[in-house]
Amino acid sequence: MTSSVLITGANRGVGLEFARQYAADGWRVLACCRAPEQSDALQQLGVEIHPLDVADPASIVALKAALVGMPIDLLVNNAGVSGGDHQSFGDIDYTAWEQTLITNTFGPYRMVEAFVDNIAISTGKTIANISSHMGSITHYDSGDEYIYRSSKTALNMVSYNLSIDLKDRGVTVLAFHPGWVVTDMGGPDAPVTPSDSVQGIRRTIAQCGPEKSGAFLNYDGTSLPW
Ligand SMILES: NC(=O)c1ccc[n+]([C@@H]2O[C@H](COP(=O)([O-])OP(=O)(O)OC[C@H]3O[C@@H](n4cnc5c(N)ncnc54)[C@H](OP(=O)(O)O)[C@@H]3O)[C@@H](O)[C@H]2O)c1
């Protein structure tokens, strides 16, 4: 049977590469983005495109209604924002902080609440939350970037919590650092290509069963410290 993957923020960057690779592998790709009419690169892949703003609960509810009863083997919570330019001590944009938490933390959680039934009736039963090593408390000894870091630290906790709450339903929940990737967010100097990042994450997902649920992993499959 054909496997299906739902990807958020699939119109560019890492999300677009997920859509490209899973489509090339013959998966049914449910590619979600805020502005389908402007998603030229995604449209060229010939995948199913659905409108979705993960920061808008009504948008998530509308997609849930459109996909009732459809098995989703893999949910890739990829959509994310960097939090903007004012996130240093003494120079915090609180509105941006709120919006970043809504997108990077509430968004993935709301997606899981909305689609857990679709995931639980699938064969794959996997959720991949695209986090960041910048959310790791152990890994960092520098300051700054309060907004982005706190949103991803919170996402890591949400991922771990979900791994416990969804264990009885057989759902595997993984948090990933995709590497520092060449995208609009990562910039042109990043050392990892979207292709290598997504290949690594896909390979790791394919190797991870329920026993790995709750893990925080680098894109190459190695464990990361919380
Ligand atoms: N690139 C890196 O080096 C790096 C490192 C660590 C972690 N990450 C994480 O990896 C993920 C992908 O990053 P990227 O580098 O591909 O970023 P990107 O190039 O900036 O793309 C971000 C994607 O998220 C979408 N998005 C943002 N807010 C959204 C919302 N409210 N609803 C739906 N979609 C939304 C964007 O859509 P629009 O086009 O509509 O804005 C875009 O498709 C993010 O979660 C990011 O935090 C990236």
Ligand 1 contact, 173 CB (< 6 A):
no
How many CA atoms does the CB half-sphere of 176 hold within 13 Å? 32
CA of 13 relative to ligand 1 center, distance in Å: 7
Residue 53 lies in a domain: yes
For residue 71, give its domain range.
Answer: 4-218
Q: How confident is the model at residue 1 (pLDDT cuts 50, 70, 90)?
A: confident
Residue 186 lies in a domain: yes
Residue 78 lies in a domain: yes
Ligand 1 contact, 101 CB (< 6 A):
no
Mean pLDDT calculated for residue range 125-150: 94
Distance CA 119, CA 210 (A): 14
Residue 112 lies in a domain: yes
pLDDT of residue 142 exceeding 90: no
pLDDT of residue 143 exceeding 90: no
Number of domains in the chain: 1
Ligand 1 contact, 184 CB (< 6 A):
yes
Query: What tens digit of pLDDT does each residue of 62-91 get?
Result: 999 999 999 999 999 999 999 999 999 999
Residue 121 lies in a domain: yes
Residue 223 lies in a domain: no
CATH number at 63 reads 3.40.50.720
Residue 159 lies in a domain: yes
Distance CA 184, CA 169 (A): 36
Residue nearest to atom 44 of ligand 1 (CA): 80
pLDDT for res 149: 97
Residue 49 lies in a domain: yes
Ligand 1 contact, 197 CB (< 6 A):
no
Q: Helix, strand or coil for residue 174?
A: strand
Atom of ligand 1 nearest to the CA of 59: 32
pLDDT of residue 133 exceeding 90: yes
* 0.85 surpassed by pTM: yes
Ligand 1 contact, 54 CB (< 6 A):
yes
pLDDT of residue 172 exceeding 90: yes
pLDDT for res 19: 98
Q: Identify the helix (H) or strand (E) that includes residue 49.
A: strand 48-51
Residue nearest to atom 45 of ligand 1 (CA): 80
Q: Please report the DSSP string for 77-117 in residue order.
A: E-------S-EETTEE-HHHHHHHHIIIIIHHHHHHHHHHH
User: Between these two residues, 2 and 1, which has the higher pLDDT value?
Assistant: 2
